[in-house]
Chain A
Amino acid sequence: MIDILSFFIFFFIICSFYIISSLGLNIQYGFTGMFNVGIAGFFAVGAYTSAIITGPDYPDTMFGGFELPILLGWICAIVVSGLAGVLVGLVTLRLREDFLAISTFGIAISIQLVALNAESVTRGPNGLYALPKPFSRFLDSAFMSNLCYLIICIVTIVFIYYALERVVKSPWGRVLRSIREDEVAAEALGKNVFLFRLQAFVLGCGIMGLAGAMYANFVRFISPQDFLPIFTIQVYVMLIVGGKGNNLGAIVGAIVIWGLWSASDSLINFIVTPDYQTQAASLRIIIVGMVLVLMLVFRPSGILPEKKHLSS
């Protein structure tokens, strides 16, 4: 019984990181129409920031290992990811959507390359290990500590969800949507389109950074291999399937797709012999890819389409 519960707790914790990332993407893509293909990069920035701030002092790094409180680590992660968002945004947000996609894509790859090569900070491919987990000093069993983490995750998600719902209904949110629908008209109304887009972009990046930090302090070991472009695509599939422009859709999509992903993982492990595991893993990715493509073709608005807000 405990085993099954453990499994679900673990499932939902990992799912939470995706949910939070989806919510962050929703601000950028769902509400403002900015096609950020660098999600994995910002997630990585948050993860590494928290790892460096909260992690122990490793013998082979020159910088980091401050062993500061986890909450501080997470706040720094949000700030640093946000700053990364500012930098990237200043450079790329004036570009048209396809160039924005290419740029953010390249940036995520560059971030991963830095993580892989800046060994004095990130320990390169060896990664950062022994990262602290919240309340681990007080809780003995893995089950209790995971349960506790799940509660932290749920609280965070609820907080972000309600905050974003308010933001979206606010005048600021309305401007974002008007920019998405018709940028020229928004400009004509005197709105500084670039500034609004930058704000939305940075907000999304900060949220993604938080997800990364929460990931780092849960799995307690991160390496550049954790932040591959497949993550970006997974989040996109989740948002598109769930319904872009709808915060609840982002949550639902994340749960559905993560469920599909995990279920197919278990199923494949069950059916397929170890020889074929890699290839079976490919099958899983193919299925998710097909879900994305089919969704785009048959139901682009997602499971929960965007709510029509009274003002728009």
Chain B
Amino acid sequence: MLYYFAPTVTVNNSDPSSGKAILQVSNLVAGYQRVLPIVVDVSLEVIQGEILTLLGPNGAGKSTLIKGICGLIEVISGEILFQGENISELETYEIIERRVAYVPQTENVFAKLTVLHNLDLGAILNTQAYAERLEKVFELFPDLSRFRDTTAGKLSGGQRQMLALGRALMADPVLLLIDEPSAGLSPVLRNQVFQHVVQIRDSGVTVVMVEQNARAALSVSDRGAILANGRLRLVKNARELLEDPEVAEIYFGAGSMARAS
């Protein structure tokens, strides 16, 4: 196997009030085929109650990393510990059963089913306190309540994103993985989404999100992790990342930071 050899910057968990790690990724190698790993030797900790944003240029392996965590992509080697349990060999549905939720970037709602139906499905693993959770989701996303009987395919982009998040929340997750929540949305909607993410975190859910819009995402995150070429390059406090111009230069590519806002 050929690895791209470059000096890896050591992981720097510079948040002094680090709480417990809810997710521990160790030396993860993952990809669609054994001979072509996309994520290469990534080690990362996700702290309970934080918002961690994964950043990096296109093709860096950010989406692949979270897909690997929730079992959609084969783990070639390495370990993933969720709340102390090794989930790297588990099937996706088993991981979801352990209260990990994943919101894909595309095709993240059941387009032919109604909003209510979609949320219903989100709760399919655990129907206890269904009514309560539905209320909470409707509180967070009033639009969903208004459009509860509309077919998901007929919703606007922003509303669909809300539904996707809502569906994931119906399962009452402990860890929420989101793949590019702001993709394709206008700046106003984008900020709305990030505010929702904060509200979700405040209700007790740990969030890991992949984002291209680095500046906006980092402004609501606790920490940011930068991937490039499948390797983890830097993990730092979000504010420090925002203020570091060199980091922007090297890892976000020419002008992408400028375009991010």
Indicate whether A and B are direct neighbours in the complex (CB within 8 Å): no
Residues in chain B within 8 A of chain A (CB atoms): none
